Amino acid sequence: MDTRRRPRSLRAHRSLRVYGTVIAAAGLLVSACSTGGSTSSASPAGSVALRALPEATPSALAPYYGQRPNWRECGVAGFECATLKAPLDYAEPAEGDIRLAVARKKATGPGKRLGSLLVNPGGPGGSAVDYLQAYAGIGYPATVRARYDMVAVDPRGVARSEPVECLDGRRMDAYTQTDTTPDDARETGELVDALKGFAESCGKRSAKLLRHVSTVEAARDMDLVRAALGDEKLTYVGASYGTFLGATYAGLYPERVGRLVLDGAMDPSLPARRMNQDQTAGFETAFRSFAKDCVGASGCPLGGAGTSPEQAGKNLKAFFRKLDSTPIDAGDADGRKLGEALATTGVIAAMYDEGAWPQLREALAAAMRDKDGAGLLALSDSYYERDADGRYANLMSANAAVNCLDLPAAFASPEEVKKGIPAFEKASPVFGEGLAWASLNCAYWPVGPTGEPRRIEAKGSAPIVVVGTTRDPATPYRWAQALATQLASGTLLTYDGDGHTAYGRGSECIDTAINRYLVEGVPPKDGKRC
């Protein structure tokens, strides 16, 4: 579900839970997928709470808990890497192992070492190891890095931890350009065929793995990592989907919770369609903030001073419609042109960080006035983690695989999508139609879901800090409010601002509160606002 996790750069790692398909802006959704039936947007939130696991370690898992990492130098100076094993199937450990990639940057001092601090940038599908080496291990506050070994583990199925594989680069190029606002039966059929083709490819190339990449299993893997590091309790900072992973850990192992920060929080009790609509509305809120900023600057292609956000949205929607029928040149070496799908992805990608708004304004101006789509294509490629040679990271493949296990589908058929479009368009006149269709992908997934909407209470855990940003496009603020309320020891920290997540994004108030919690163990007062 993305997807930028600091620094202020479109190259920063994704941090949202991306439940939808990778077609166009679909990867930006938090709509879960499955082969099961639909879940109405009016369905009540999950009434069942996630149950904690027994405190005693099962004997069949003892060898895994007895591991110690064999650290070696890797890639980036100052970082060490190791490989740990986890059971592919926790219910049947004898069926085989999965390898987990772990990286570490040791505490720099001064001061007494406090243990390990695990970080996760979200996704699902974002590489935590890449995030650690590119940012967290060098960019987290010095006071935190001085006292903690900074640690990351790529979740199962992600990046270095036995990645899920689906389409190759050429087929991914075609897939990401598929029209997600079909105008007739033929285009609807093409969209369905694309979704089925993606799912079938994942099923063929990663058949065994697809059944065992759920968030619950990834959380159990984190407990193995905690034990291997020699820590009695888990200290953790997770962003967006990383909050769902961290909250799931707390629900399973409340007695092993140390200091947990859940930034850009998700509400695990919501069904898929409700989550999709909430996030669609979040992108609309973010776009309106961008539009106000854009029309106040010279050269805004969406309108001049005094143009309303509503009119700016209509102007953008009209531009998307033109691209739907007539894509424009994007200067791409592989011959790709900028159509509606890639343009929409490029725009939404820039919604995660207000620092990207000037870049988006320039890219839109070039595309709308000069018919030069290179800027928007670059934004889209950054979101999809496509490199200059046409290779894609496995983020989107892993994303679909995880989400298709975690929740029943938002929609089960094109007919259901058509009925649901008005609600999505009400949430966002600009993005609603495409994001509704994007919710369909896992209707064709080869593996059924193992999860369901569940409250997470984590009764008996130490205080858990939940962070919400009031105008967060990807994880709406009310999700943070809901999670903080569900957690028995939750405390809500609010950032009144724009962009996705809050820690390390320039708010001294937020950073000071979280740093004090991590270093001194003193959580901010519940309800604190910055």
Could you tell me if residue 365 is inside a domain? Answer: no
Q: Are 136 and 152 in contact (CB under 8 A)?
A: yes
Tell me which H or E stretch contains 364: helix 357-370
What is the DSSP code (8-state) at residue 77?
T
Count of structural domains, the chain: 1
Exposed / middle / buried, residue 85 (Cβ in 10 Å: 0-12, 13-18, 19+): middle
Residues 407-423 as b or e (16 or more Cβ within 10 Å = b) = bbbbbbebebbeebbeb
**Treating both helix axes as pointing N-terminal to C-terminal, what angle do 309-325 and 340-349 enclose, rounded to 10 degrees?**
140
Distance CA 449, CA 293 (A): 42
Q: Has residue 277 been placed in a domain?
A: yes
Rounded to two decimals, the pTM is 0.92
34 is catalytic: no
pLDDT of residue 14: 36
Would you give per-residue pLDDT tens digits along the chain (530 residues)?
Answer: 443 343 333 333 333 333 332 232 333 343 322 222 333 333 345 678 999 999 999 999 999 999 999 999 997 889 999 999 999 999 999 999 999 999 999 999 999 999 999 999 999 999 999 999 999 999 999 999 999 999 999 999 999 999 999 999 999 999 999 999 999 999 999 999 999 999 999 999 999 999 999 999 999 999 999 999 999 999 999 999 999 999 999 999 999 999 999 999 999 999 988 988 999 999 999 999 999 999 999 899 999 999 999 999 999 999 999 999 999 999 999 999 999 999 999 999 999 999 999 999 999 999 999 999 999 999 999 999 999 999 999 999 999 999 889 998 889 999 999 999 999 999 999 999 999 999 998 899 999 999 999 999 999 999 999 999 999 999 999 999 999 999 999 999 999 999 999 999 999 999 999 999 999 999 999 999 99
To the nearest 10°, the Cα dihedral for 20, 21, 26, 28? 50
**Is 184 designated active site?**
no
* Domain span including residue 487: 1-290+400-530
The answer to whether residue 395 is domain-embedded is no
Q: Which amino acid would we find at residue 476?
A: P
* Residue 113 forms part of a structural domain: yes
State the Cα–Cα distance between residues 366 and 383, nearest whole angstrom. 19
Two tokens at 139?
């960019």
Query: Is 223 a known active-site residue?
Result: no
Give the number of other Cβ atoms within 10 Å of residue 515's Cβ: 16
* Per-residue pLDDT, 76: 87
Is 435 within a domain? Answer: yes
CATH number at residue 476: 3.40.50.1820
- 340 within domain boundaries: no
Residue 335 included in any domain: no
Q: What is the pLDDT of residue 46?
A: 62
For residue 250, being part of any structural domain is answered with yes
Among residues 456, 499, 430, 410, which one has the least CA distance to residue 25?
430
CB 126 within 8 A of CB 15: yes
Please give the Cα distance from 348 to 332 (Å, whole number). Answer: 20
Spatial contact of 425 and 10, defined as CB atoms under 8 Å apart: no
Helices 357-370 + 272-295 axis angle, to 10? 80
Catalytic choice (231, 381, 472, 511): 472
Marked catalytic residue, from 13, 289, 500, 511: 500
Q: Which of 240, 382, 397, 461 is catalytic?
A: 240
